[in-house]
Amino acid sequence: MLAKTPPMGWNSWNTFGEAINEQVVRDTADAIVEKGLKDAGYEYVVIDDCWSLRQRGADDRIVPDPVKFPSGMKALADYVHSKGLKFGMYSCAGTRTCAGYPGSFDYEFIDAKTFAEWGVDFLKYDFCYKPRLANGPILYNRMGMALKASGREILFSACNWGSDEVEKWIRSIGAHMYRSTGDINDSFNSFKDIAMSQVEKLAYSGPCCFNDIDMLICGMHGKGNVANGGCTDTEYRTHFALWCLFQSPLMIGGDLSKIDDYNLDLLKNKELISINQDPEARPPMRLGHGDRPIFFKHLANNEYVLAFFNFGDRDSWGDVEFYDLGLTVASGYGFRFRDIFTGEETGVVTGHLSTGIKSHDCRIFRGTLVEK
């Protein structure tokens, strides 16, 4: 079974866009292993759009661009596999990809077979240039079946940006993750708005099919294909914490040959990753509103997370009254929490928990319920 927990890996789009090539993919696979990201759980190395020639070949198959990929896709897949990683590619449900390369519309079965022959383990499937009369559920179902018929186990990553109430049918068509929003860019407002747009829809996300709120921008610092001013390290931490709390797939979007230590450590943060990979995949309850949302999430093994965010421009305070969670002082129980970033323990707290939160920062507490 694929995607028991949110898939983790790297995708070329955020940094490289059109400038993708086999050397970048090889260097990235090397970096994932050498920099400890494989050990942290990152597995899929995914080539996004712009990998092929503009026309199909005489045999109707999509042809990898021989300048960008001189060794061919099979050799590249073999290299990625030799590192103990998995290999991902990209196509589109329409007649062309979003960047104008051949799409898989009406070629779904032959393309799926070609991907399988190359050793592809993951397919991101976009939604541009879709004929107006064709609908999303049918097109995604068709590719879902084509992948299953391909003879290889291939993770199906749908990308229709949340159109057609995707969360309601995407699990039925066999996808393992689904993009639910428009594209992220490297800015605080972009990741904040994307994450907050999905709060009410996270109940549709779970084992075998996760709501994908787009590739990560951690450490991009205003460079690359989706550059838009960049974020501070504090903001990248808030971004990663939201993606982990919402159990989105974690697809790194930065240039791993140049990633700085702060963001590399962040992407490997064991506490956040274990929240992201929690096997029960329960959506968080939202408590605080406006610019200072607070989330409470049940984890497996009787653990809980209480997460405070401050999206405002000033340092601030957050407070949770435990009776808002159903826990009264009379129950005789309280929480014993640990701040996952500082390691600081709260002791047994009853009644409420308040904490300061710096502007654009977050505080994440993890703990258990204990008898006083």
Catalytic residue IDs: 126, 183
Q: Residue 7 Cβ, how far from ligand GLA at the closest point, in Å?
A: 15
The answer to the question of residue 186 lying near ligand GLA (CB under 6 A) is no
Name the strand (E) or helix (H) holding 79.
Answer: helix 73-82
The answer to the question of residue 48 lying near ligand GLA (CB under 6 A) is yes
Q: Which of the 8 DSSP states describes residue 100? A: S
Lookup: tokens for 287 = 């408590």
Residue 48 or 361 having the CB closest to ligand GLA: 48
Give the residue, chosen from 6, 45, 47, 49, that forms a contact with ligand GLA under the rule CB under 6 A: 49
The answer to the question of residue 208 lying near ligand GLA (CB under 6 A) is no
Residue 68 or 366 having the CB closest to ligand GLA: 68
CA 70 to chain centre: 30
Lookup: tokens for 285 = 């309850």
Size of interface with ligand GLA, in residues (CB under 6 A): 10
Under DSSP, is residue 127 helix (H, G, I), strand (E, B) or coil?
A: coil
The answer to the question of residue 47 lying near ligand GLA (CB under 6 A) is no
SS3 content of the chain, % helix, strand, coil (to 5): 30, 25, 45
Closest-CA residue to 122 (of 52, 42, 224)? 42
Q: Residue 50 Cβ, how far from ligand GLA at the closest point, in Å?
A: 7
Closest-CA residue to 292 (of 277, 311, 275, 307)? 311
Closest-CA residue to 236 (of 251, 248, 249, 220)? 220
Q: At what angle do helices 73-82 and 22-34 cross, to 10 degrees?
A: 10
Length of the chain: 372
The answer to the question of residue 306 lying near ligand GLA (CB under 6 A) is no
Site string for ligand GLA, 236-275 (x = CB under 6 A): ----------------------------------------
Q: Residue 215 Cβ, how far from ligand GLA at the closest point, in Å?
A: 7
Lookup: tokens for 120 = 């592809």
Site string for ligand GLA, 112-131 (x = CB under 6 A): --------------x-----
The answer to the question of residue 156 lying near ligand GLA (CB under 6 A) is no
Q: Which of residues 70-99 bind ligand GLA (CB under 6 A)?
A: 97-99
Give the residue, chosen from 65, 78, 117, 183, that forms a contact with ligand GLA under the rule CB under 6 A: 183
Query: What is the full DSSP assignment across 167-209?
Result: GGTTTTTT-SEEE-SS---BSHHHHHHHHHHTGGGGGG-BTTB
Lookup: tokens for 21 = 């090539």
Residue 197 or 346 having the CB closest to ligand GLA: 197
Q: Residue 352 Cβ, how far from ligand GLA at the closest point, in Å?
A: 41
Residues that bind ligand GLA (CB under 6 A): 13, 48-49, 97-99, 126, 159, 161, 183
